[in-house]
Amino acid sequence: MKKKLQISVFFISQMLAGCYDNVNPDDLIGVYYSNHGHGEEKLELLKDGSYVLTFTKNEKVVLKNTNSWELESRGKALSFRGFVFGYRDMSPPWGNEPGWWHVEIERSWQGKIELNTDPDLGYYYIKN
C-alpha cells in the first residue's frame, strides 16, 4: 500500500510540475485564441518581440492592438507593453487604457501553452 501511495504522489507531482515548465521564446511564437465566449480574440506573438491582438465580434474587427512582449522570470512569465484586452467588461475609461500586462505561462494537462487572463472565470489565451 505504501508503494502505491509513493507512486501516486510521484505522478501527481510530475503532472503539477508540468503545468509551470519554463519555456524558451521559440515555444511561445505563434497564435493564441481566447476562450471567453464574447467574440473572437486572437493574440499573435511574433519572433521579433512584437505582438498583434485582434478582437472580432460579429465578423467585425472591434480592436487591433500591437506593441512588444518579452519573456521574464527565467521563462515562466511574459510581459506585454501597451496591452489592451479585446473583450472588456468595464466601460471606458477603465477598460480601454493601454498598459503593462504581466502573466505567468502555464501549460494545460495536454501540454498546450496558456496565458491566464482571468483566473476567477477561467479565461485563457490558448496557443493553437
- Annotate 72-106 with DSSP letters as a single string: ETTTTEEEEEEE--SS-SS-TTTTS--EEEEEEEE
For residue 12, the domain's CATH number is 2.40.128.360
Query: Cell for 121?
Result: 472565470
- Answer positive or negative: Cα dihedral of 105, 106, 110, 111: positive
Q: Is the pTM of this model over 0.85?
A: no
CA distance 58 to 80: 27
Q: Which of 103, 78, 67 is nearest to 25 (CA)?
A: 78
Domain carrying residue 86: 2-127
Averaged over 1-12, what is the pLDDT? 50
Query: Where is average pLDDT lowest: 8-22, 50-64, 94-108, 113-127?
Result: 8-22
Centre a 10 Å sphere on the Cβ of residue 43 and count the other Cβ atoms it contains: 25
Percent of the chain with pLDDT over 90: 41
pLDDT class of 25 with cuts at 50, 70, 90? confident
Averaged over 82-86, what is the pLDDT? 86
Averaged over 97-117, what is the pLDDT? 90
Residue 66 has pLDDT above 80, yes or no: yes
> Based on the structure, what is the number of domains in the chain?
1
Cα 123–Cα 69–Cα 125 angle in degrees, nearest 5 = 15
